[in-house]
Amino acid sequence: MKKGLKLVVTGGAGYVASSLLQTDSLRDNLSSLVATSLSESLKDIWITDVILIDKLSTPTLPEYPSDINVQYIQVDLTEPSYLYEVLKGVDVVYHLASYGMSGREQLHKAAIWKVNVEGTRNVIKACLHNNVKALIFASTVNVVFGGQRIDGGDETLPYFPSEQRPWDDYGNSKMLADQSVLQANGSVGDDGTTTLRTCVLRLPGIYGYKERRHLPRVAALMKQGLFKVKYGKNPIVEFINVCNVTECLLLATRDLLQSQSLAAGEAYFISDGEPINNFEFFRPMTEVLNVPYPKVTLPMSLIFAIAFIIELVYKVLHPLYDFQPLLTRAEVYKTAQTHYFSIEKARKHLGYQPKNANDMKAIAEDYRVSPEVVVQGQSWTALFVNISLVFFITCIILSYLPIAG
């Protein structure tokens, strides 16, 4: 008799969770991956139940396979009692929830640490309390990247010291969460027999069709005429198509449920596997939106200084006016400094084979046929604040330059 596998996804209202629910990802991929597993004991296991949990009360869920029972439950990860109840009878948990990845949320320090660190520890405790078999954590490359150049780094890289980057609470908090998940591997559940297996997927920027958080923000800035300059010295970075994220989640699930697991207690860098200049990655969007591609290149140090001043002003004004900063210091480093990683470990251990690498052309086309997906840009007040700050800082810098003649 077949045994149904019960899956819980934190961050259930988010983009990756929504993509995971698509028929091709969940029914076709996961069912076949599990059915063809090398482990004889897994041939009769398949996904029957998916529980999405998130703090949002009214998410919009995509269409999903009719033979899979999908539930959405509003849960705050910082309230462990709710998690203990939701995870009853669950086999696998995908911990995708996080806070403070970009924009003004990066400057909300208390919320970042509460969700990313305390929330993750609560998830681990709930997994052990309910004898969950596998926990997969969506981490970030920022756990090892702190503004230094990295060319083809691998999983032997140490965590970046948090005291050296006080400007990146998101990266520092995700680092502690990353450590907590890996340390939890091999812990025995409350029944005294079930062993929790964990692994970590360290992700770069995620993009894909119908992504409605980061790409629309970029498109809005382009339409407002703010994509005028590049910065940094040919910053080579990497991205990951959401279809590759979901694929790797499913591959890790298959491995962790086998009797002999390679992924248990391991971290993996995953990406499209084709590093690219950060600004070139967005060129297809400039073509679709009929926006000139920037030709002027400014030094990273100048943009970093501007972002620093913008952050200071935000901290003063946000109790009165919570505007969207043009850039934060963490965003400057992520977009202006070369950092990319080897995915060979994921290839060897999980059989990961990325597809649709840097496939922005087709995705950008969505903005031509459906212009409403471009989020409304910054308000004129926010725009005025940001531009005034940039102008003010530029004047200060120019005042220190020698006068000709």
What is the set of active-site residues?
Answer: 170
Residue in the structure block whose two tokens are 């998101």:
170
Amino acid at 115: V
User: Do residues 347 and 154 make contact, with C-beta atoms less than 8 angstroms apart?
Assistant: no
Distances (CA, A) of 250 to 217, 244, 263, 323, 352: 29, 10, 12, 38, 10
Residue in the structure block whose two tokens are 């812990």:
187
| Nearest of 199, 209, 206 to residue 239 by alpha carbon | 206
Please state, in angstroms and rounded to a whole number, the distance separating the CA atoms of residues 142 and 171: 5
**Residue 195: DSSP 8-state:** B
- Can you read off the two tokens belonging to residue 372? 């409403």
User: Do residues 155 and 200 make contact, with C-beta atoms less than 8 angstroms apart?
Assistant: no
Residue in the structure block whose two tokens are 């149904």:
4
Helix axes 300-317, 380-399, angle to 10 degrees: 130
Residue in the structure block whose two tokens are 């910053």:
235
User: Do residues 213 and 197 make contact, with C-beta atoms less than 8 angstroms apart?
Assistant: no
User: Do residues 363 and 208 make contact, with C-beta atoms less than 8 angstroms apart?
Assistant: yes
Element (H, E) at 288: helix 283-288
End-to-end CA distance of the chain: 89
